[in-house]
Amino acid sequence: MSETLTIFTYDWVPKGPRGFVRDLRLRWAAEEAGLAYEIGAVPFEDRQPSHFAHQPFGQVPFLTEGDISIFESGACLLHLAKKSEILMPRTPRGEAETTEWVIAALNSIEMVSVPWWFLGLSGDHENGLSGWLDSRLAHVETVLGGREWLVEGRFTVADLLMADVLRIPQVRARGDRPASEAYIRRALARPAFEKARADQMAHFAAADAKRGEG
Amino acid sequence: MSETLTIFTYDWVPKGPRGFVRDLRLRWAAEEAGLAYEIGAVPFEDRQPSHFAHQPFGQVPFLTEGDISIFESGACLLHLAKKSEILMPRTPRGEAETTEWVIAALNSIEMVSVPWWFLGLSGDHENGLSGWLDSRLAHVETVLGGREWLVEGRFTVADLLMADVLRIPQVRARGDRPASEAYIRRALARPAFEKARADQMAHFAAADAKRGEG
């Protein structure tokens, strides 16, 4: 099999989630590290067994590389981080701290922020998870008040993921958290993020054109 | 500094969460792999700055080993998995698949099940997250209907975590999912789980005795 690194996303999505679909996390990491990659696509509207074979929940992203197929953006990021010290320090302590913050972004923040956002889709941003979310965001604000980046004073894949989790507009609008806001801006100003975001937007715009929409 | 592996939990917790506090995940992994470890404790009722220095959200577990300190049970499990092939295969593909299922347990299941459980504390197990939870559990049931363990046909740290996520009584009681139920029973029948659970129960019982409760 080819050893090409391929990042899979949907063939099309509605306008709302564009710029936030999680293949962006993998594109961003590959751009930071200068890794060559291709983009693959699976149908958004008619999810096939071949998609579920790679991603048992029918979501994206997943990546393939030779005989390896990985789903979960966090696992894909840890896989990419093994390829480049740009994404993760090579010391045992640096690896441990990068891994803990990758998982904290997913399991301490996103575990509350995504269900909170989901409940808020009906318009109610003051719901049963609001207090818990505010508490978690306050702890992150304390951490970010004391450091520029999460691990060893420099950007790692942990910052990529934490910034992507925190940049959701509804989360970002929640309370006054200046250190978090400055951190998000620092991360989003990176050329690799801008490239990844522009490429994702172009991918879905091309799909509109093909469908005769736009 | 000492290279002793120390797993930190609370000095005491109320009866309800006993047997489910997440230091159990780390004890279980260490028991499976035959790793020597000690147990440390931080106050449950009066959380100190020294605790937040190790775990910025004021939770447990965290582990220390020499100059390394790691929080997030998932990150701790991946750290322990590097020490023993019993916990994770050593092939690139086996490592990738173990990592993806560790993160799937946290970010595809627990991200829905824990907020669902939290909303249900007020007694309403039919809440805004119920349908989403049922969908996620159905996908896991499909996967477990086709295999005994998640990765390479044998128990790994991914099963340890997935089983611990699925064994929450309210989740386990949710619908008829025979493959998931058989999987949970297989995992919980392992001597290392029984030892870890008994040790956690004894730890908190000793704390009761010290407080003059019990």
- Quote the CA–CA distance of A65 and B44 in Å, as a whole number: 45
Cβ proximity of A80 and A28 under 8 Å: no
CA angle B175, A110, A37 (to 5 degrees): 105
- Average pLDDT of span B172-179: 96
User: CA of A10: how far to CAs of A47, A200, A204, A207, in Å?
Assistant: 10, 10, 9, 10
- Quote the CA–CA distance of B45 and A10 in Å, as a whole number: 47
User: CA of A12: how far to CAs of A151, A197, A207, A213, in Å?
Assistant: 35, 15, 6, 11
Please count the CA atoms within 13 angstroms of the CA of B155 that sit on its side-chain side: 19
| A72 and A139 together in one domain | no
Question: Which residue type, as a one-letter code, is found at position B88?
Answer: M
> Strand, helix or coil at B107?
helix
Q: Which residue of A has its CA nearest to B139?
A: A57
Q: Measuring CA to CA, which residue among B73, B72, B19 is closest to residue B188?
A: B19
Q: Which of B99, B110, B112 sits opposite A107 (nearest CB)?
A: B110
Q: Measuring CA to CA, which residue among B155, B150, B175 is closest to residue B28?
A: B155
**A171 lies in a domain?**
yes
- Quote the CA–CA distance of A73 and B96 in Å, as a whole number: 12
> Strand, helix or coil at A125?
coil
Reported as a pLDDT band with limits 50, 70 and 90, residue A1 is very low
| B202 and B177 together in one domain | no
Q: Does the ipTM exceed 0.95?
A: yes
CB atoms < 10 A from the CB of A8, how many?
A: 22
Answer yes or no: do B122 and A128 touch at CB < 8 A.
yes
| A54 and A144 together in one domain | no
Domain holding A68, by residue range, is 6-85+192-211
Q: Which tens digits make up the pLDDT trace of B130-153?
A: 999 999 999 999 999 999 999 999
Answer yes or no: do B99 and A75 touch at CB < 8 A.
yes
**A1 lies in a domain?**
no
**A184 lies in a domain?**
yes
- Quote the CA–CA distance of A121 and B52 in Å, as a whole number: 33
Q: Which of B68, B104, B111 sits opposite A114 (nearest CB)?
A: B111
| B10 and B22 together in one domain | yes
DSSP state of B12: -
- Quote the CA–CA distance of B179 and B176 in Å, as a whole number: 9
pLDDT at residue B212 is higher than 90? no
Distance from CA of B26 to the nearest CA of A (A): 14
Q: Measuring CA to CA, which residue among A103, A140, A157 is closest to residue B52?
A: A140
Answer yes or no: do B96 and A107 touch at CB < 8 A.
no
What's residue B35's pLDDT?
98
Helices and strands, number each (H, E), in chain A: 10, 4
| B132 and B147 together in one domain | yes
Reported as a pLDDT band with limits 50, 70 and 90, residue B21 is very high
Q: Which of A115, A127, A142 sits opposite B111 (nearest CB)?
A: A115
**A74 lies in a domain?**
yes
- Quote the CA–CA distance of B145 and B141 in Å, as a whole number: 6
**B44 lies in a domain?**
yes
| B70 and B97 together in one domain | no
Answer yes or no: do A68 and B107 touch at CB < 8 A.
no
- Average pLDDT of span A189-197: 98
Reported as a pLDDT band with limits 50, 70 and 90, residue B1 is very low
Q: How many domains does chain A have?
A: 2
B→A interface, C-beta within 8 Å: 56-59, 67-68, 70-72, 74-76, 78-79, 92-93, 96-97, 99-100, 102-104, 106-108, 110-112, 114-116, 118-119, 122, 127-129, 132, 136, 139-140, 142-143
- Quote the CA–CA distance of A19 and A17 in Å, as a whole number: 6
Answer yes or no: do A70 and B99 touch at CB < 8 A.
yes
Q: Which of B57, B108, B127 sits opposite A72 (nearest CB)?
A: B108
| A61 and A27 together in one domain | yes
